[in-house]
Amino acid sequence: FSTAEDLARFGYMLTHEGRIDGRQFLAPETIETFTTRADVPNSTRAFGWDTKSQEGYSSAGDEFSASSFGHTGYTGTSFWVDPAEDLFFVLLTNRVYPDDTDDQISQVRPRAANVVHRAIEGPPRPLLPGPSPGESSD
């Protein structure tokens, strides 16, 4: 468990080659080793991290780059880092309240990541299928 502020600092450090506040906490090579996908068939895992699936479902959504890596937690949390885009995403939730039988968080995680990424990196896009604002539906 952690706080949003601490995870934001951690994300910043990971997007800046292991440095924050003028101090080197992790060598860039260590980050690369821990976030490089393992050579295991049908797996997107690295050492302790997930990596972005290029096909099918990813809790990182559709917008994070192929070099992104992240981790999810039992309570619905999601933490994704995209060094290529110099951004990170933190989602802290408690999806187990009042019980842990609902799996809707698997839909919320990628949608939230997409909304945040688009708000930071790209032009506004519709959240629902259909024409963009100002476009004709013809």
What SS3 state is found at 117?
A: helix
Per the confidence metrics, is the pTM higher than 0.75?
A: yes
- The amino acid present at 137, given as its one-letter code, is S
Whole-number percent of the chain with pLDDT over 90: 48
**pLDDT tens figures, 62-109:** 888 889 999 999 888 999 999 999 999 999 998 887 777 878 888 889
What SS3 state is found at 134?
A: coil
**Would you say the C-alpha torsion 123, 68, 81, 74 has a positive or negative sign?**
positive
- The amino acid present at 44, given as its one-letter code, is T
Q: Which residues contact 18 (CB under 8 A, 6 or more apart)?
A: 24, 25, 26, 27, 28, 30, 31
* Residue 70: count of CB within 10 angstroms of its CB: 25
Token match 């690295």: residue? 46
For residue 85, what are the β-bridge partners? none
State residue 97's pLDDT score.
74
What SS3 state is found at 46?
A: coil
**pLDDT tens figures, 39-53:** 998 889 999 899 998
The answer on pLDDT for 5 being more than 70 is yes
Residue 27: pLDDT band with limits 50, 70, 90:
very high
Range among 24-33, 87-96, 127-136 rated most confident: 24-33
The answer on pLDDT for 14 being more than 60 is yes
The answer on pLDDT for 31 being more than 90 is yes
State residue 18's pLDDT score.
97
What burial class does residue 115 get, using C-beta atoms within 10 Å of its C-beta: 0-12 exposed, 13-18 middle, 19+ buried? Answer: middle
Structural domains for the chain: 4-121 (3.40.710.10)
Mean pLDDT in the chain? 86
